[in-house]
Amino acid sequence: MIAVRAPDHLGDAVMALGPITALSRLDSVEVWTRGRWGAELYAGVAAAVHAGDGPPLDAARAVLLKPSWHAAWLWRSLPTIGVGPAALVGTALPEMPEHRGERYARIARAAGASEVATSVYGPRGEAPSVPARHVGLNPWSPSATVRWPRFRALAERIEGNGGEVVVYCGPGEAALVRTMMGREVVAGLSLPDFAAALDHCRVFVSNDSGAAHFAAACGRPVVMVHGSTSPSLTGAGRAVVGAPLWCQPCYRKTCFWGRPCLDRVSVDAVIAALG
């Protein structure tokens, strides 16, 4: 059995799906994650998905995809492979300037996997009633540094040009996003139901978020709006970025300097990226 400590955030966990799929061709895989969607995301790939940090009692191989000292410490007694401190990780790979998805693929290859492909999500549930070939919008993020403020104006432009828009958001976000966007939203779908809804989506526009990576794994074209984050590290699909600042990328949840990176991204730039 291969034990995998998967990332806890949806975007990273989706980027890890392809590498975990490759590992599952070597042996039975069991996954540990704190993500509440773990069982839905890894259904059909992992033999079991466990909620929490682990560690497992035993494993022929242990793969650390969660990049944290805490995870490495908890799993230190296992034959671990990952990017992390050599004192805690049995096979410690070096840090490299690379996309997060490529990091997970590099770890999987070091664990013996070959032909590590891009993440693909296959399960489909029941889609809500959404128009065919709509533009999906994901305007909310709890981190202000990645929350583009012009999604409402974007929706109005798309509809003014004869397009149809559906606004998506996660559990517990509906009231806030409804107020932000001035319209009804589709909220709190399970991953299989979200995937089924995305089958009707022409293009998905999002902040740098887990939903964007999930849409890409479902085969949808994605336009990702970047502020403080870098497409070369966490991007998915077509990237729209504003004029650069010296402090980018930072991946902070609040801006240390109080500079609104995303104010530099115009609606025109996003419209142009829709194709």
Going residue by residue through the chain, which has 275 residues, state the pLDDT in tens, using 9 for 90 and above: 999 999 999 999 999 999 999 999 999 999 999 988 999 999 999 999 999 998 998 888 999 999 889 999 999 999 999 998 888 999 999 999 999 999 999 999 999 998 999 999 999 999 999 999 999 999 998 888 889 999 999 999 999 999 999 999 998 999 999 999 999 999 999 999 999 999 999 999 999 999 999 999 999 999 999 988 889 999 999 999 877 776 677 777 777 766 677 888 999 999 999 98
Q: How many domains does the chain have?
A: 2
What residue ranges in 128-275 does DSSP mark as E strands?
134-138, 165-169, 186-187, 201-207, 222-226, 238-241
Same domain for 204 and 237, yes or no, is: yes
The model carries a pTM of 0.94
Same domain for 81 and 145, yes or no, is: no
* Cα gap 199→205, rounded to integer Å: 14
Same domain for 46 and 90, yes or no, is: yes
- Residue 6's domain comprises 2-110
pLDDT at 146: 86
Is residue 119 one of the residues assigned to a domain? no
pLDDT at 167: 98
Is residue 83 one of the residues assigned to a domain? yes
Same domain for 61 and 142, yes or no, is: no
Same domain for 173 and 263, yes or no, is: yes
Amino acid identity, position 171: P
Same domain for 140 and 196, yes or no, is: yes
Is residue 266 one of the residues assigned to a domain? yes
* Cα gap 50→35, rounded to integer Å: 10
Same domain for 177 and 269, yes or no, is: yes
Output the domain CATH number for residue 6.
3.40.50
Is residue 75 one of the residues assigned to a domain? yes
